[in-house]
Amino acid sequence: MAAPVPWACCAVLAAAAAVVYTQRHSPQEAPHVQYERLGSDVTLPCGTANWDAAVTWRVNGTDLAPDLLNGSQLVLRGLELGHSGLYACFHRDSWHLRHQVLLHVGLPPREPVLSCRSNTYPKGFYCSWHLPTPTYIPNTFNVTVLHGSKIMVCEKDPALKNRCHIRYMHLFSTIKYKVSISVSNALGHNATAITFDEFTIVKPDPPENVVARPVPSNPRRLEVTWQTPSTWPDPESFPLKFFLRYRPLILDQWQHVELSDGTAHTITDAYAGKEYIIQVAAKDNEIGTWSDWSVAAHATPWTEEPRHLTTEAQAPETTTSTTSSLAPPPTTKICDPGELGSGGGPSAPFLISVPVTVALAAAATTANSLLI
């Protein structure tokens, strides 16, 4: 048998057949991408076919009813988002694919919303933007930052697509910054700009790690501590002041305290036994606006243990600071008119000089135990 020649012949024939097959069944070109406006009407011609050619249209592989056709053209009225898809027209008899259209239904962009903020003063500021309504098709944004006539670089945020960062080169500038953004997609274009002074956009992040603790033996006190936000780069030269608000969960009215220094405060007028919600906000001492409120802390003031009707009833009256209870002896209790209903021992004003020493020791041990 003369094997090579007939085998070669078959191989060539098979290859030729494959080529012809793919030519007949694959598109002459990649699908034509088309963007159309939501609510509009569109007529899709079947490529270069004559108007009176006999064609069938399919969308995503599903046949379309012939009543949508105008000759060989597909007519879609009142486009909805659901009309997006891959449209293909075939020669009716041979099922030869004539044309493909990848249709995206969307909207031109409306005016973007742009805002800038400095939570890292004096290092820099960031700008973020978004569209008020979706376009359903891809958009590209272009941000430019001008300081007077000087163009500044806005570095894209590594994580967030709609944010970029600008570093301050100069501080205390009298010249305003102008940030412009333009957005465009296949259906349209829009832009906006904002102008501001360096000082007006300063807004720190909220304070961190807000913790509220009851104060032992003080049924109307709560001790609140927090930290300056970690994003604020230089609290020494750019100190923050704080605003604290608190209320018992059962009431709607907030109490407010403004603190110009320190990261701790003791609430002294809490309602005994009620759970409190506490929040803190921060602001640069001189410029800018208040931060958002911090994550809320919850705490309930200290309440005395209920007495048991046993012979041990006498014991709490005579405990000293050497027992496991960290409360100072009631007979040496500090006279505090605010501590009503404390159920403790008698107040003894003439013993004030003594409690100072004892309470200091007790407070110290309390502080130590709290730090465990």
Partner 1 sequence: MLPAAAEPAAGDSWGMLACLCTVLWHLPAVPALNRTGDPGPGPSIQKTYDLTRYLEHQLRSLAGTYLNYLGPPFNEPDFNPPRLGAETLPRATVNLDVWQNLSDKLRLTQNYEAYSHLLCYLRGLNRQAATAELRRSLAHFCTSLQGLLGSIAGVMAALGYPLPQPLPGTEPTWSPDPAHSDFLQKMDDFWLLKELQTWLWRSAKDFNRLKKKMQPPAAAVTLRLEAHGF
Give the residues lining the site for partner 1 (CB under 8 A): 122-123, 148-149, 168-176, 178, 195, 199, 236-239, 261-262, 264-266, 268, 285-287, 356, 359-360, 363
Shortest approach of partner 1 to residue 370 CB, angstroms?
Answer: 14
Residue 357: CB atoms within 10 Å: 10
Residues forming beta bridges with residue 86, ordered by sequence position: 102
Shortest approach of partner 1 to residue 166 CB, angstroms?
Answer: 13
Residue 122's Cβ-count burial label (10 Å; 0-12, 13-18, 19+) is: middle
- By beta-carbon proximity to partner 1, the closer residue of 108 and 219 is 219
- By beta-carbon proximity to partner 1, the closer residue of 13 and 175 is 175
- By beta-carbon proximity to partner 1, the closer residue of 75 and 354 is 354
Shortest approach of partner 1 to residue 224 CB, angstroms?
Answer: 11
Torsion of Cα atoms, 76 then 82 then 88 then 92, to 10°: -60
- By beta-carbon proximity to partner 1, the closer residue of 172 and 350 is 172
The span from the CA of 196 to the CA of 182, in Å, is 18
- By beta-carbon proximity to partner 1, the closer residue of 149 and 253 is 149
C-alpha closest to that of 147 among 124, 129, 163: 124
Distances (CA, A) of 288 to 2, 9, 117, 193: 93, 84, 10, 20
Shortest approach of partner 1 to residue 102 CB, angstroms?
Answer: 45
Shortest approach of partner 1 to residue 194 CB, angstroms?
Answer: 10
The span from the CA of 164 to the CA of 147, in Å, is 16
